[in-house]
Amino acid sequence: MSKLLWIPVAVVLLALPLYLDASWLKAGQYMMIGAVGAIGLTLLSGQAGQLSLAHGFFLLVGATSYSVLSGTDDDLVGLGLNPLLALIGAVAISALAGVAFAPVAGRVRGIYLGVASLALVFLGLYLGQAAGSLTGGTSTGRAPATFELFGFSFSNEGTLIVAGVPLRGTERLWYLFLILLALSYWLAKGAVGTRIGRSWRAVRDNEAAATAMGVDVRRTKAGVFAVSSAYAGLAGVMIVLWFDILKPDENEFGTYGINTSIAFLAMAIIGGLGSIPGAVAGAVVVYGLPQLLTLYSTDLGWFTGSVTPVLVSSFVYGAAIVLVVLFEPGGLAAIGRRIKELRS
């Protein structure tokens, strides 16, 4: 994207909380969570060619780590750290969890790896339930510490009025998420354009050639798993802040389950595997659509009986995957590039 185009985009995104109701902000924040996670997965599956269906698991690792590191509950394990430290810690722990998967990732390739990674989702389901002292258990879950930055609380606490609009928890969280997304985006862009990104693509395209050029394939795979998991972990922290609760899943189709993993993969595919702006666009489609349709549903009156916003969104993203693979393997990113070429 042209550097200049960023200015209006940024201004609009910064101004939105002054106009939009809390519901719309919630929906927007949800898309940002998706975008952060999808950027991580597009690095792993798109740039480095490692299929992963374990993204939901790493979300859970990040979510749990943040809750434990920042938690102050008496009956649960909690270290009571400063929330910013807890966030950084959670991202680091998620990265380590990604590295721990390296022995498998290093040996198992392609589609086998995708199925192997599915094991982590089931492991996460089990651990989330079994490790109740960390996760709070499926019965009650646990409330995460409110995020704070240098004494400023991202909650309804205190009054902060900008342009006549009181900024309450939801508005504040919007800005926090915006910063986290911008940072994630910028870091990923930096990595992809340089040495580390080249080594990922080399591993994806030809392991023998990568090796001959001095790339340690095993280490690179472990590394990209770590990076991708760190992104997922950050998305996990964001999701507990968004929900105001960490609640481990009761079954494999929950917040950190298979469907989530597939949704993230769908974002990466629809956006165009490997493309960072594409991943953000994919997140807007996959996570934005159900939210926006739900908010509009009362006004629209479209959805009756078994046709629900969630169902319609599933159809849309299922079809989008099929269409992308059939007609435009570069996804939304390639379509965007083409439009740009047409205009210039």
User: Which residue number, 150 or 163, has a Cβ lying nearer to another protein?
Assistant: 163
Of 338, 202, 308, 242, which Cα lies nearest the Cα of 32?
A: 242
Residue 342 Cβ vs another protein, minimum distance, rounded to whole Å: 12
Residue 80 Cβ vs another protein, minimum distance, rounded to whole Å: 19
Task: Show the binding pattern over residues 262-291: x = contacts another protein (CB under 8 A), - = does not.
Answer: x--xx--x--------------------xx
Rounded to whole angstroms, the Cα distance separating 37 from 58 reads: 10
Q: Would you say 239 and 56 are in contact if contact means Cβ atoms under 8 Å apart?
A: no
Q: Would you say 219 and 99 are in contact if contact means Cβ atoms under 8 Å apart?
A: no
- By CB under 8 A, the residues from 127 to 146 that bind another protein are 129-130, 137-141, 143
Stretch that binds another protein, among 74-82, 85-93, 172-180, 192-200 (CB under 8 A): 192-200
Question: Which residue has 């340690």 as its token pair?
Answer: 216
Residue 152 Cβ vs another protein, minimum distance, rounded to whole Å: 18
Residues 6+ apart with CB under 8 A from 333: 271, 272, 275, 277, 278, 281
- Is 80 among the residues that bind another protein (CB under 8 A)? no
Reading the block at residue 67, the tokens are 């809750």
- Burial, 158: exposed, middle or buried (Cβ in 10 Å; 0-12, 13-18, 19+)? exposed
- Please count the residues of this chain forming the interface with another protein, following the rule CB under 8 A: 126
Among 80, 84, 179, 250, binds another protein (CB under 8 A): 250
Task: Show the binding pattern over residues 94-133: x = contacts another protein (CB under 8 A), - = does not.
Answer: ---------xx--xxxxxx-xxx-xx--xx-xx--xx---
Q: Would you say 94 and 58 are in contact if contact means Cβ atoms under 8 Å apart?
A: yes
Residue 175 Cβ vs another protein, minimum distance, rounded to whole Å: 14
Among 152, 160, 179, 206, binds another protein (CB under 8 A): 206
User: Which residue number, 79 or 340, has a Cβ lying nearer to another protein?
Assistant: 340
- By CB under 8 A, the residues from 34 to 63 that bind another protein are 49, 51
Residue 149 Cβ vs another protein, minimum distance, rounded to whole Å: 20
Reading the block at residue 118, the tokens are 């599915």
Of 83, 122, 65, 79, which Cα lies nearest the Cα of 261?
A: 122
Among 79, 160, 300, 311, binds another protein (CB under 8 A): 311
Other residues' Cβ atoms within 10 Å of the Cβ of residue 201: 16
3-state secondary structure (DSSP) of residue 230: helix
Q: How far is CA 340 from the centre of its chain?
A: 27
> Helices H, strands E: what count in the chain?
17, 4
Residue 281 Cβ vs another protein, minimum distance, rounded to whole Å: 17
- Is 308 among the residues that bind another protein (CB under 8 A)? yes
Among 133, 211, 335, 337, binds another protein (CB under 8 A): 211
Residue 77 Cβ vs another protein, minimum distance, rounded to whole Å: 18
Other residues' Cβ atoms within 10 Å of the Cβ of residue 168: 18
- Is 179 among the residues that bind another protein (CB under 8 A)? no
- By CB under 8 A, the residues from 312 to 341 that bind another protein are 314-315, 317-322, 325-326, 329
